[in-house]
Amino acid sequence: MADHNELGRKGEKLACNFLRKKGYEILATNYRFEKTEIDIICRYNKTLVFVEVKTRSGQEYGEPEESVEVKKQQKLVRAAENFVQTNDMIGEVRFDVIAVIIQDNREKIKHIKDAFYPYQE
């Protein structure tokens, strides 16, 4: 497996552990719809939360969360709609981003709640 894939998987595992400690219930990981993958789907109280995890080994290219651009957001929203319909889910929905930086054997996790809102097309 390529180094960047291993880094991404490690970041997703850290994000899952982070969310569990905060009281989130993990419902699914790596949910795929068409060519889009939602890294983590969880529930917090009555809110269904779709989480995109971005992991980097440094900040040379900016903050990890900056790479979740509008096109990616739209794809995530479509995949989330599929998950909701397929699983007959009801309730509030939120889109979060968890930015993970792993550098010099240190881990920095930033949780951005309501990182973006679904766009009307």
In tens, the pLDDT along 92-121 reads 999 999 999 998 889 999 999 999 988 655
Q: What share of the chain is helix, strand, coil (3-state, %, to 5)?
A: 35, 40, 25
**According to the model, what pLDDT value does residue 73 have?**
94
Token reading at 39: 């890294």
The answer to whether the CB of 67 falls within 8 A of the CB of 53 is: no
DSSP-assigned beta bridge partners for residue 40:
29, 51
Rounded to whole angstroms, how far apart are CA atoms 20 and 14? 10
Q: Which residue has the tokens 């390529």?
A: 2
pLDDT in tens, 23-62: 999 999 999 999 999 999 999 999 999 999 999 887 777 7
Model confidence at 2, in pLDDT bands (50, 70, 90)?
Answer: low
